[in-house]
Amino acid sequence: MARPASNKIRVRSQGSNVARSQSRRRIGQGRINPRPMPVTIIHKAFLADGTQVAIAQTNDTFVAARFDANERPLDRCVFTGGSARDNARGWADAWVRKLRGF
């Protein structure tokens, strides 16, 4: 260890092999990976008239859509934000109730 002119031993609070960011406090939440995740179908319901309702998710965006028997889109709605999953599920359930009648 190095001795200063006063002959006292210098003591460090951290060793020399410690990462620079280790002594810093973390502020806020951890970082979210910015890469888009693949689209995933999280809900699908087949209706009595031959159409189907499905919900797809990518990152925090939910797309709810209604398709005909040949899987061509008839109607769609995009939801983002904190309650997007619940809103998309509510939209799909409303179509199910409307066309199934219960």
* Environment class of 72 (CB within 10 Å of its CB; exposed 0-12, middle 13-18, buried 19+): exposed
Domains and their CATH numbers in the chain: 36-100 (3.30.67)
Task: Give pLDDT, residue 35.
Answer: 77
Q: β-strands 61-67, 52-58: how paired?
A: antiparallel
Which residues are bridge partners to 45 per DSSP? 53
User: Are 30 and 53 within 8 A, CB to CB?
Assistant: no
**Per-residue pLDDT reduced to its tens digit, 24-69:** 666 666 666 677 889 999 999 998 888 999 999 998 899 999 999 9
What pTM did the predictor assign? 0.63
